[in-house]
Structures are given as C-alpha cells and as structure tokens.
C-alpha cells in the first residue's frame, strides 16, 4: 500500500473491495462538517462523485463520525465489503486526516480538480487503517517577504500541506526585503514597505540583477480568507512579524523606527540585497508602541495561540554606535547590545502573554531569558532546542542542516541555484525531531518540527515547488509516522511508495524535482542554473 505519510497500522488488504460510484451517499455525523465540506468541494468533483446525503446505514455509503476513544487527531478508516466506508476520528481533525488517506487510496485522479474518467467506479480493497500523528506541530514555514507569493499560491500551499497531513503554516510576513501584511493604522508599511526597486537573482553572490520592482502584500481580508481556508483544513496559521532585526522594510516606511542618530533613515529604501541588513529597530518606547499597534491588528487577524516575533540575526553595529541606544542600555541596566535584543523580546513576551497568547521566536531569543510560556524555533542546529527543552520551554525543531528546503537537493552543478548544505530526499527522510540527549521528560517539550522554505533564490512559485517537493513528502512522514531511529528507517520502502506519490503530485500540478534530477528547463542554463564564476560554492 502506497500511503504517504505511512499510517500506524493496516489490516488487509484482501482481494474484495468496496466501491465508490455516483450512487455512493455521504452521512456526516456531528462535528465532521469540515470533512463533509472538503469531500463535497474537493474529492467529489475530482472523481465526479455527487456524494449526496444519505442514511447512516446505507450499504453504498461513506460515513463520518467522531469517536471519543481516539486521540483528537487519530482516525480509523474502515472499508468493509457490504458495509461501505467509514471514517471515525477522535476529533474533527482526525476525521479530516482520515479523508486525506481515503483520497490517496482512490488513486492519482482523486488529486485533480475535475474528473478525467467520468462514470468510473472507484474500488478500494477491503481494509482497516488505524492511524495517529507522532507530533502535534507538523509545520511548513513559507517566506513571502523575499519573494511574494500571491494569495492563490498560499491557498494552494495550504491544500498541499493538508494532502500531507501537515497542520501548522508559519507565515513569514515581514523582512528587510518586504512587508507583506496590511496594517490599517500604518498604511505606509505596505504602500512603501511592500515594494523593492530591484532584486539580485540567482546565487547570493551573483552579479546579476533584475532591474524591476518586486512586491505585493495581503490585505486584511486576504488574511482572513487564508486563515479561514487553513482552519477548514485543520491548519493553524502562525504569523511572523520580525523584531528587532530583519526590519529594514518597516524602517524604510517609517524612518523614525530606525537608529536615526547613526544613519539617515529617511533615505533608506526597502532592501534590495540578500543577507542580514544592518538597519535594525531603534530601542525606544515609541518603537515598542508602534509594534504593539502592529501586533494588536495581528492578534485580531490570527487566532493562533503562538505568535512568532522573529528575534534572529539582529545586527548590533548601529546600537554600538548609537548614543541613544547606549543611553538606553545604561538606563535599563542591560548587558550591552545583546541585552537590548532580549529587552525587545521580553517586552513582547510579556505583552503577548497578557493577551492570552504565547510568544515563539528563533533560537537567538534564548540568549536573554524568557517567560515560561515562550517557545523556540530551533534553527541553528539542535543546540538551541536542547537548551530550551532542558529549561522547560517548548521547542519546534527546524535545524537548517536538516530541514531548510532552500538548500540544494543534490551535489553538482545541475541544481538550479547552489545554496547551503546538500540535503537529499533521503537526508530529510532520516530527519529526527527529538535529539537523543533529551530525557523523556525534556523530549515532551518538542512540540514537533517544521520545514522552512526561504525564498531568496525562489523567484516564482515553480521554484518554490521544486525546492519543496518531493522533500516535503519525506518531512511529512518524519513528523507524522511512527518511524524507527534514523539509521533504521526503510528509505527504499519510502522510495517505492513515492512511485505512487509522484503521480498524485503530478495531478496536483506540483513542479517537484524529478527523481532523476533537474530537467534542462529547471536548470535554466546560463542564468540561474550555473554557479557564478569565482563565487564560493555554498552561499
């Protein structure tokens, strides 16, 4: 059986089957509305199945119900000859994940948007599948700041996540190179901050520039739509608004946010280069009030318990030179510039906690001490996550060496843009979110993991697909399935199941990296395809 991610237990298959056809009815019990709507809006139209409402006991029926003996995200899918199909879920999410499994059982056509073989009867072998996720946080981070992903593309990624049973969408909305979220009280954040004049393209050390403006942003209604669309798929959207670094776009829009005593912030523009900008927020009360205003609107838009405040890679040069920043350090009795960074983080930690939310930030935020409820995204390897878990903080593992999907998928010059470590499909398959040095008690703080898609070198959605797939399928299995230790994982079996999964991705229109390596058009020879002469191989 070719399910991805692999389920916990399968009984069967036998030769006899259960059939779905135009007469199959749907009975949806209380609490199963999201799945009922998804079946009618997505799976039914793909196969031409009307799924008309029918009785609970129909022999040719698909039945959905809750079962309080199961964990909230667990499900049991039964395809029993003479009794039709039944999906029982511990909660609404469990039923929904069961429906995702049903879609895979129905074959690649179930991943299309309209039937290509209308009238066909769809058979499923008699079997019972019992399944539950290993982790509660199965995430994907998408950077829409470096390259904007228009709203339709974001909705499509939510569908792709759902198809892989991923449930946290970390939305990287602001950075030096663009501010992508409409904030009503500060219109210049998007009027000015969402566009940059030009973009370095290809390799980070490439001398090539695309001399045309790049930008875009989501209106608040776009965000409401994205959040609601995600919720229908049992996906939580965690917004990220970066402080105090990665904020040049905000400073370009509102120069008073920057360190005006050391740099002419009035002449700054949205950054057009890659790397880490030196332009960071000024440590003033006015800056805090400004961002409280931003976060007030963020909290209205995003119901997620966790709110990501960035906190990574804050360049300290300007604070070192700024008399105002130095005065602030003395006045607050802080430990130098590092103390200022923690001061920002602690302020928003307290502020979010007071509003019933929890702060999450990149692992640099550990450096200044955190409130009890704060959590850490461990990106610079596992070390930050280990420290956080040992001190009682929750952790989302996303070590760049393992699960940064902007990194190249193979050695050699054929990959479209050489960046970072080589992380093959197999490497991602062998990714283990819980490092061995944690005790069982500490390991409970590992909420799960996420794959991060940074988009400096992904100038269009096709490139995002290429970097993300098929590795996201391997990642999904690493966070959902009950796999053995990395060295003992059966990658050959995963590859075998991928032969059924590639046609599903094809039907979904995903421009994944082909198993045999990039196609010539994906290499884009002469422009994006080749490492730039003289540039270091791994930037």
Q: Which C-beta is closer to ligand ACM: that of 382 or that of 512? A: 382
Structure tokens at 214: 């790049």
Report the sign of the C-alpha dihedral through residues 110, 111, 112, 116, in that order. negative
Q: Which C-beta is closer to ligand ACM: that of 176 or that of 394? A: 176
How far CA 371 is from CA of 100, 338, 375, 392, 441, in Å, comes to 38, 17, 9, 10, 20
Give dist(CA 412, CA 417) in Å, integer: 10
Helix locations, 395-490, DSSP H: 400-403, 425-429, 440-443, 461-468, 471-480
Q: Which C-beta is closer to ligand ACM: that of 195 or that of 362? A: 362
Q: Which C-beta is closer to ligand ACM: that of 218 or that of 379? A: 379
367 binds ligand ACM (CB under 6 A): no
Using CB under 6 A, pick the residue from 175, 312, 349, 406 that binds ligand ACM. Answer: 312
Q: Which C-beta is closer to ligand ACM: that of 284 or that of 401? A: 401
HSE-up (13 A, CA, CB side) for residue 415? 23
Using CB under 6 A, pick the residue from 159, 273, 313, 317 that binds ligand ACM. Answer: 313
How far CA 162 is from CA of 100, 103, 129, 380, 477, in Å, comes to 7, 11, 18, 27, 13
| Contact predicate 339/364, CB 8 Å | no
Q: Which of 73, 143, 175, 427 is catalytic?
A: 175
How far CA 256 is from CA of 94, 293, 329, 401, 520, in Å, comes to 48, 15, 19, 37, 48
What DSSP letter does each residue of 314-359 carry, written as one string?
Answer: ---HHHHH-HHHHHHHHHHT--HHHHHHHHHHHHHHHHHHHTT-EE
Q: What is the DSSP letter of 69?
A: T
379 binds ligand ACM (CB under 6 A): yes
Give dist(CA 379, CA 28) in Å, integer: 41
Give dist(CA 223, CA 96) in Å, integer: 23
Give dist(CA 177, CA 487) in Å, integer: 40
Shortest approach of ligand ACM to residue 258 CB, angstroms? 20
Shortest approach of ligand ACM to residue 111 CB, angstroms? 32
- Closest by alpha carbon to 318, among 337, 342, 290? 337
Q: Which C-beta is closer to ligand ACM: that of 261 or that of 313? A: 313
Using CB under 6 A, pick the residue from 148, 362, 469, 475 that binds ligand ACM. Answer: 362
Q: Which C-beta is closer to ligand ACM: that of 406 or that of 415? A: 406
- Residues in region 251-270 near ligand ACM by CB under 6 A: none
493 is catalytic: no
Shortest approach of ligand ACM to residue 313 CB, angstroms? 5
Q: Which of 2, 225, 261, 313 is catalytic?
A: 313
Q: Which C-beta is closer to ligand ACM: that of 312 or that of 465? A: 312
- Closest by alpha carbon to 363, among 290, 294, 309, 434? 309
What 3-state class would DSSP assign to 523?
A: helix
313 is catalytic: yes
Q: Which C-beta is closer to ligand ACM: that of 297 or that of 456? A: 456
What 3-state class would DSSP assign to 447?
A: strand
- Closest by alpha carbon to 365, among 397, 388, 337, 331? 388
Q: Which C-beta is closer to ligand ACM: that of 379 or that of 469? A: 379
Give dist(CA 34, CA 516) in Å, integer: 38
Structure tokens at 443: 């390991």
Pairing of strands 214-215, 358-362: unpaired
Size of the site for ligand ACM (CB under 6 A): 4
Shortest approach of ligand ACM to residue 513 CB, angstroms? 22
If you compute the radius of gyration of the chain from its CA atoms, what whole number of angstroms results?
24
Residues annotated as catalytic (active site), given as ranges: 175, 246, 313
Chain positions contacting ligand ACM, by CB under 6 A: 312-313, 362, 379
């Amino acid at each position: 059986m070719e399910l991805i991610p692999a389920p916990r237990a399968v009984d069967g298959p036998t030769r006899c089957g259960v059939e779905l056809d135009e007469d199959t009815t749907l009975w949806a019990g209380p609490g199963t509305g999201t799945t009922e709507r998804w079946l009618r809006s997505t799976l039914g139209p793909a196969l031409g199945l009307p799924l008309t409402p029918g009785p609970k006991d129909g022999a040719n029926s698909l039945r959905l119900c809750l079962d309080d003996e199961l964990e909230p995200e667990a499900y049991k899918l039964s395809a029993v000859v003479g009794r039709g199909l039944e999906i029982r879920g511990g909660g609404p999410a469990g039923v929904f994940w069961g429906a995702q499994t049903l879609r895979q059982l129905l074959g690649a056509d179930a991943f299309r948007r309209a039937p290509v073989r209308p009238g066909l009867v769809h058979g499923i072998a008699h079997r019972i599948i019992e399944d539950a996720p290993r982790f509660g946080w199965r995430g994907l981070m998408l950077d829409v700041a470096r390259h904007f992903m228009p709203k339709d593309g974001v909705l499509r990624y939510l569908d792709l996540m759902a198809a892989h049973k991923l449930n946290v969408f970390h939305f990287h909305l602001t950075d030096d190179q663009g501010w992508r979220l409409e904030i009503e009280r500060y219109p210049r954040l998007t009027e000015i901050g969402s566009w940059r004049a030009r973009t370095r393209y290809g390799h980070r050390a490439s001398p090539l520039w695309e001399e045309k403006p790049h930008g875009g942003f989501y209106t608040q209604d776009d965000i409401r739509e994205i959040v609601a669309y995600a919720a229908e798929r049992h996906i939580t959207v965690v917004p990220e608004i970066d402080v105090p670094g990665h904020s040049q776009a905000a400073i370009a829009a509102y120069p008073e946010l920057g360190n005006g005593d050391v740099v002419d912030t009035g002449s700054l523009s949205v950054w057009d280069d890659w790397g880490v900008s030196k332009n960071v927020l000024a440590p003033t009360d006015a800056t805090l009030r400004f961002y409280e205003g931003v976060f007030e609107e963020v909290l209205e838009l995003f119901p997620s318990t966790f709110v990501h405040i960035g906190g990574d890679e804050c360049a300290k040069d300007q604070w070192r030179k700024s008399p105002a920043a130095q005065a602030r350090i003395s006045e607050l009795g802080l430990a130098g510039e590092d103390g200022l960074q923690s001061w920002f983080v602690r302020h928003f930690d307290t502020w979010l906690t007071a509003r019933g939310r929890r702060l999450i930030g990149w692992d640099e935020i550990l450096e200044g001490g955190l409130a009890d409820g704060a959590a850490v995204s461990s990106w610079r390897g596992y070390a930050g996550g280990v420290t956080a878990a040992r001190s009682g903080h929750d952790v989302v593992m996303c070590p760049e060496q393992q699960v940064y999907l902007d990194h190249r998928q193979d050695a050699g010059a054929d990959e479209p843009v050489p960046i970072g470590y080589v992380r093959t499909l197999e490497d991602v398959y062998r990714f283990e979110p819980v490092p061995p040095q944690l005790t069982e008690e500490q390991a409970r703080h590992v909420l799960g993991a996420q794959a991060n898609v940074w988009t400096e070198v992904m100038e269009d959605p096709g490139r995002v697909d290429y970097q993300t797939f098929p590795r996201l399928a391997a990642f999904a299995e690493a966070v959902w399935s009950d796999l053995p230790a990395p060295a003992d994982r059966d990658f050959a079996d995963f590859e075998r199941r991928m032969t059924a999964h590639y046609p599903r991705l094809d039907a979904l229109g995903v421009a994944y990296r082909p198993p045999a390596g990039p196609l010539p058009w994906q290499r884009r020879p002469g422009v994006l395809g080749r490492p730039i002469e003289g540039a270091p191989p791994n930037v």
